[in-house]
Chain A
Amino acid sequence: MIQLNVNKKNVTIDAEPEMPLLYALRDFLNLTGTKFGCGAGLCGACTVHMDGEAVRSCLMPLSAAVGKNITTIEGLSEKSDHPVQEAWLAHKVPQCGYCQSGQMMSAAALLATNAAPSDDEIDIHMQGNICRCGTYKRIKLAIKEAGKNIVREA
């Protein structure tokens, strides 16, 4: 039995400690907003926050997630109204949408420490998140707008 804190709730999962967090979230907690993309930490579709930091859940064993605060896309905001989500909506970023949970989680983690990232800083931080539909241009615009709104609200 593994005890986790996911989206501010304590949960108990009957799984092996080496099971990656991704599969526990999806299969055991029915939090399917976090996606499988590569299983190798190469694409970022599975990005969640662990104590506020963006991590790839497909490589994160449950044993390493114990005692941490885990946030998934479902817990990023109460009403899907995190500044990142609002900017994503305003710029109509998604096409198929599959990678976008991971994109938004990576973006939210970036903006939490740097609300006004430069193009280069966005490039460096977001390089681990692949979008095959090709929404990068809008991702960049949306991150900048979300950053401005975070500064305004602060």
Chain B
Amino acid sequence: MSHIENLSRRGFLKSVGVSGGVLVVGTAIPSMSFAYSESGTAGNVEHQLSVFVSIAEDGIVTLVNHRSEMGQGIRTSIPQIIAEELNANWDYINVVQAKADRKYGSQGTAGSGSIRRFFIHVRQLGAVVRDMLEQAAANIWQVNKSEVSAINHFVVHNKTGQKIAFGELAKHAAKLEIPAPENVKLKSINDFSLIGTDVKQVDLPTIIAGKMIYSHDVQLPDMLIASIERPPVVGGKVKSFDATAAKKVKGVVDVIQLKERSLPAGVFPKSGIAVVATNTWAAIEGRKKLKVVWVNGENQVHNSESYRDNLKKLVNKKGINVNNLGDVYQHDYDQSRTVEATYSVPYLHHAPMETPAATAVIKDGGCIIWAGSQNPQWGKGLVLEELGLSREQADKVEFNVVTMGGAFGRKSKGDYILEAVELAKVTSKPVKVIWSREDDIQHGFYHSVSANYCKAELTNDNSADNWIQRVALPPIGWLFNTDSKSPSDDDLSVGFADTPFKFNQMSMEKHEVSSHIRPGWMRSVSCINNSFALGSFVDELANKAKITTQQMWLNLLAEDRLVDPNSDTFKYTNYGVSLTEHPLDTARMKNVINLLADKANIDEKVSANEGWGISFFRSFNSYMAAATKVSVKNKKVTILEMHTAVDCGIVITPDRVKSQMEGAMTFGLAIALMGEITVKDGKIEQGNFHNYLIPRINQVPNMFVHIVKSNHAPGGIGEPGVPAIAPSIVNAIFHACGTRIRDLPVSKVLSI
């Protein structure tokens, strides 16, 4: 393994632009362009067979990972898929990180999409090179390609058993044309030997050694460090500032006013005053001595407490039709069999352990950037625009994608990257912008505060019908268009209008609201509030019907079928993929619920003050059920045990599916028990981990993950584990002590 680590280091240096460039003489194929050949680096000659695959003569296969790593393990899983189709030996794989470049196709690492949206495509990346290696060997033996097979880093002549190593074949294969991916046969799922196994995880030894480089760790000669005071209210501007005292701090080089920005906020910086210094501490100390007077603007009217109350009032009124069957408003509800409830979730924040940071240096009219980013091509596009460059001048901006110390959606936005570019331009020096924890919590893009309403009447067979559900929340669309007042069909396709129950009559509605702080995508986005409402409401229906929650889920899901939520009024987006490939399959839903109930043993006899709660949610094309056991004593809740059962189709790296589920349980626990951002006079009230709480080791119980074996197309895994957790916890609390919590977090009612 040691030589692979050495290569990784070389790969890193290369990826940050230290060693030579790549000669691109490739041809274009649909959806992406491949490139041939690169100039050799010191040591063994590497033959680049495609944009994604190079093979050195000693057999080391270098694979490009084009997706962004934030802890999900994608730097292992993408190369693992390529290596599978290549029939390579994992011990000889070296992974390098792609820079931001359109030649790689989509690099936006969001929506749990890296595998589920590109599985076939990524397999083709390996398969075309396997095909070239096989062709090269066939040419040498002067036989038909069908007579040879790539097996474990060699190409073998099937009849004679002769074999040639990949390393030897590389120089011959590099001369061949890259076949069209649709002409190359992918392996049968039954022949997978790497996919579905826990290969050695890329980056793990580097992290353990403390040597992983994150955005905060980038160091350049003569670099300046910047700390920025930003307007506390969205849309606010600097009225005046006094930098005299700040400039006297030893190490402070300059104080710079960033250019004004206006609404729509987009993902642009908020502007403000930057203190730049020769070291981090000087920048922080200098900033403390700044005096800034702000003009807060109209969003200072925003107070989250009254705003949330208003959302709850709104959803108790009839809203704008999203999707409906029949006319529930003509139905005469039998109050003794009807359940009606309003649920709300506060603003939430990602709070990755690594706050945003980015480094930029201006060079030859363009610039070089080092930043962790979930969407490096979007970031690069913004930088081009900032520098007045066109898309055709993309080569002038080199965007080095750095591993992220957590992201959860926050780092899809390019605001912190543009700050670094702006300051590098003004100072003509390399500048690293670092965000404090207060900056991170007070200048984020928040999961929207929301209210959901549900009403339904029990049927004679212990299901429910005449279903009404409504939602009100400030939509993410407002970021880009200040006229946006309600969630789009896409926003409503995340467990709201795709509720997979069998109704005769139903009405799904939304409301229009005003927006005042920057909304953003946070791990599973609106699935959080939709699942909290749905999962709680099913539990309330079960309680009313005096049946188990598991049975109520099974009754509502009804017989095995594929659900199509599309209608004349609603276009279902299914997380960006087709319903043919990824249907809403109630059989898989019921299976995962039953597996969970069985594995977690939720029907066990529990002590007084203890209870189990379950919930289920399909999101990002994966099916996930959660069970939580709690005790509630003297108004204090303790989480005793958590389980998740997940059907995410074909599993690539089982241990990373498990780790994502463990992480999602913790993330969901935070949402349920303690997460809350509040706003007063337009300003975020929280500032650090003492008042924006994240679960600590003593608050997290033993956890169990049960993975369904499946040959279905792979679903997402980064987000689907989150939504069902919060309802499983509040349901458990109800079963333990009879207290029904409909407004999160739980800490408002019980101590945690």
B546 within 8 A of A: no
Are B351 and A136 in contact, CB atoms less than 8 angstroms apart? no
Give residues 14-55 of A contacting B (CB, 8 Å). 15-16, 19-20, 23-24, 26-28, 30, 32-40, 42-43, 45
Task: Tell me the nearest residue of chain A to B663, going by C-beta.
Answer: A134
Q: Which stretch of B127-135, B264-272, B305-313, B692-700 is in the interface?
A: B692-700
A89 within 8 A of B: yes
Assembly CA distance A32 to B209 (angstroms): 11
Assembly CA distance A42 to B689 (angstroms): 6
**Known contacts A19-B281, A73-B210; A136 and B666 CB within 8 A of each other:** yes
Task: Tell me the nearest residue of chain B to A84, going by C-beta.
Answer: B208
Q: Which of A80, A95, A99, A101 has the most CB of B within 10 A?
A: A95
Task: Tell me the nearest residue of chain B to A34, going by C-beta.
Answer: B210
Task: Tell me the nearest residue of chain B to A87, going by C-beta.
Answer: B208
B355 within 8 A of A: yes
A132 within 8 A of B: yes
**Known contacts A35-B216, A42-B690, A43-B353; A95 and B667 CB within 8 A of each other:** no
Task: Tell me the nearest residue of chain A to B667, going by C-beta.
Answer: A134
Sample (29) of A-B pairs whose CB atoms are under 8 Å apart: A20-B281, A27-B281, A32-B216, A34-B210, A35-B354, A39-B284, A39-B436, A40-B437, A42-B689, A43-B437, A92-B659, A96-B70, A96-B71, A96-B405, A96-B406, A97-B71, A98-B352, A98-B406, A99-B353, A124-B698, A131-B353, A131-B666, A133-B71, A134-B667, A134-B700, A135-B659, A135-B663, A137-B702, A139-B697
Are B689 and A38 in contact, CB atoms less than 8 angstroms apart? yes
Are A23 and B280 in contact, CB atoms less than 8 angstroms apart? yes
B333 within 8 A of A: no
Task: Tell me the nearest residue of chain A to B212, going by C-beta.
Answer: A97
A127 within 8 A of B: yes
B655 within 8 A of A: yes
Give residues 666-716 of B contacting A (CB, 8 Å). 666-667, 688-690, 694-698, 700, 702-703
Are B662 and A92 in contact, CB atoms less than 8 angstroms apart? no
Q: Which stretch of B199-207, B456-464, B595-603, B605-613 is in the interface?
A: B199-207
Are B250 and A132 in contact, CB atoms less than 8 angstroms apart? no
B665 within 8 A of A: yes
**Residue from the list A36, A94, A132 in contact with B204, Cβ < 8 A:** A94
B 642-675 binary contact with A (CB < 8 Å = 1; else 0): 0000000000000100011011111100000000
- Tell me, rounded to whole Å, the shortest Cβ–Cβ distance linking A150 to chain B: 17
Are B355 and A36 in contact, CB atoms less than 8 angstroms apart? yes
Are B662 and A134 in contact, CB atoms less than 8 angstroms apart? yes
**Residue from the list A20, A26, A45, A94 in contact with B208, Cβ < 8 A:** A94
Are A137 and B662 in contact, CB atoms less than 8 angstroms apart? yes
**Known contacts A33-B210, A129-B697, A132-B351; A40 and B690 CB within 8 A of each other:** yes
Contacts of B408 in A (CB 8 A): 132
Are A138 and B662 in contact, CB atoms less than 8 angstroms apart? yes
Assembly CA distance A43 to B406 (angstroms): 14
Are A134 and B208 in contact, CB atoms less than 8 angstroms apart? no
What does DSSP make chain B's interface, helix, strand, loop or mixed?
A: loop
Are A36 and B688 in contact, CB atoms less than 8 angstroms apart? no
B 196-232 binary contact with A (CB < 8 Å = 1; else 0): 0000010111011111111011010000010000000
Task: Tell me the nearest residue of chain A to B665, going by C-beta.
Answer: A134
Are A97 and B203 in contact, CB atoms less than 8 angstroms apart? yes
Contacts of A92 in B (CB 8 A): 201, 204, 655, 659
Are A98 and B689 in contact, CB atoms less than 8 angstroms apart? no
**Residue from the list B72, B201, B405 in contact with A98, Cβ < 8 A:** B405
- Tell me, rounded to whole Å, the shortest Cβ–Cβ distance linking B33 to chain A: 31
Are A36 and B279 in contact, CB atoms less than 8 angstroms apart? no
Are A97 and B405 in contact, CB atoms less than 8 angstroms apart? yes
B 349-365 binary contact with A (CB < 8 Å = 1; else 0): 00111110000000000
Are A30 and B279 in contact, CB atoms less than 8 angstroms apart? no
Assembly CA distance A126 to B248 (angstroms): 40
Are A98 and B354 in contact, CB atoms less than 8 angstroms apart? yes
Are B279 and A28 in contact, CB atoms less than 8 angstroms apart? yes
B584 within 8 A of A: no
A116 within 8 A of B: no
Task: Tell me the nearest residue of chain B to A72, going by C-beta.
Answer: B210
Are A89 and B662 in contact, CB atoms less than 8 angstroms apart? no
- Tell me, rounded to whole Å, the shortest Cβ–Cβ distance linking A97 to chain B: 4
- Tell me, rounded to whole Å, the shortest Cβ–Cβ distance linking A51 to chain B: 20
B434 within 8 A of A: yes
Task: Tell me the nearest residue of chain A to B405, going by C-beta.
Answer: A98
**Residue from the list B207, B210, B405, B407 in contact with A74, Cβ < 8 A:** B210
**Known contacts A40-B690, A96-B353, A97-B71; A80 and B208 CB within 8 A of each other:** yes
Are B697 and A122 in contact, CB atoms less than 8 angstroms apart? yes
Contacts of A122 in B (CB 8 A): 697
A 131-154 binary contact with B (CB < 8 Å = 1; else 0): 111111111100000000000000
Are A95 and B71 in contact, CB atoms less than 8 angstroms apart? yes
- Tell me, rounded to whole Å, the shortest Cβ–Cβ distance linking A142 to chain B: 11
Are B208 and A132 in contact, CB atoms less than 8 angstroms apart? no
B367 within 8 A of A: no
Task: Tell me the nearest residue of chain A to B691, going by C-beta.
Answer: A42
Task: Tell me the nearest residue of chain B to A24, going by C-beta.
Answer: B281
Are B690 and A88 in contact, CB atoms less than 8 angstroms apart? no
Task: Tell me the nearest residue of chain B to A86, going by C-beta.
Answer: B208
- Tell me, rounded to whole Å, the shortest Cβ–Cβ distance linking B469 to chain A: 30
A115 within 8 A of B: no
Are A37 and B659 in contact, CB atoms less than 8 angstroms apart? no
- Tell me, rounded to whole Å, the shortest Cβ–Cβ distance linking B290 to chain A: 17
Assembly CA distance A144 to B557 (angstroms): 43
Are B213 and A27 in contact, CB atoms less than 8 angstroms apart? no
Task: Tell me the nearest residue of chain B to A37, going by C-beta.
Answer: B353
Closest 5 pairs (CB-CB, A-B) = A33-B210, A134-B666, A98-B405, A96-B71, A73-B210
Are B665 and A40 in contact, CB atoms less than 8 angstroms apart? no
**Known contacts A136-B666, A137-B662, A137-B703; A15 and B279 CB within 8 A of each other:** yes
A 52-91 binary contact with B (CB < 8 Å = 1; else 0): 0000000000000000000011101000100001001100
Contacts of A129 in B (CB 8 A): 696-697
- Tell me, rounded to whole Å, the shortest Cβ–Cβ distance linking B527 to chain A: 17
- Tell me, rounded to whole Å, the shortest Cβ–Cβ distance linking A58 to chain B: 10
Task: Tell me the nearest residue of chain B to A123, going by C-beta.
Answer: B698
Assembly CA distance A15 to B695 (angstroms): 36
- Tell me, rounded to whole Å, the shortest Cβ–Cβ distance linking A23 to chain B: 4
- Tell me, rounded to whole Å, the shortest Cβ–Cβ distance linking B432 to chain A: 10
A109 within 8 A of B: no
B404 within 8 A of A: yes
- Tell me, rounded to whole Å, the shortest Cβ–Cβ distance linking B200 to chain A: 10
Assembly CA distance A98 to B697 (angstroms): 16
Assembly CA distance A88 to B284 (angstroms): 33
- Tell me, rounded to whole Å, the shortest Cβ–Cβ distance linking A94 to chain B: 5
- Tell me, rounded to whole Å, the shortest Cβ–Cβ distance linking B334 to chain A: 44
- Tell me, rounded to whole Å, the shortest Cβ–Cβ distance linking B409 to chain A: 12
Task: Tell me the nearest residue of chain B to A95, going by C-beta.
Answer: B71
B73 within 8 A of A: yes
**Residue from the list B201, B209, B655 in contact with A80, Cβ < 8 A:** B209
Contacts of B660 in A (CB 8 A): 95
- Tell me, rounded to whole Å, the shortest Cβ–Cβ distance linking B695 to chain A: 8
Give residues 132-184 of B contacting A (CB, 8 Å). none
- Tell me, rounded to whole Å, the shortest Cβ–Cβ distance linking A43 to chain B: 5
**Known contacts A134-B662, A135-B663; A127 and B355 CB within 8 A of each other:** no
Contacts of A80 in B (CB 8 A): 205, 208-209
Assembly CA distance A19 to B695 (angstroms): 30
Task: Tell me the nearest residue of chain B to A143, going by C-beta.
Answer: B697
- Tell me, rounded to whole Å, the shortest Cβ–Cβ distance linking B709 to chain A: 21
Contacts of A134 in B (CB 8 A): 662-667, 695, 700
Assembly CA distance A104 to B659 (angstroms): 18
Other A-B contacts than A94-B207, A133-B666, 8 sampled, CB-CB below 8 A, are: A34-B210, A42-B690, A72-B210, A94-B71, A96-B70, A98-B353, A100-B208, A129-B697
Contacts of A42 in B (CB 8 A): 437, 688-690
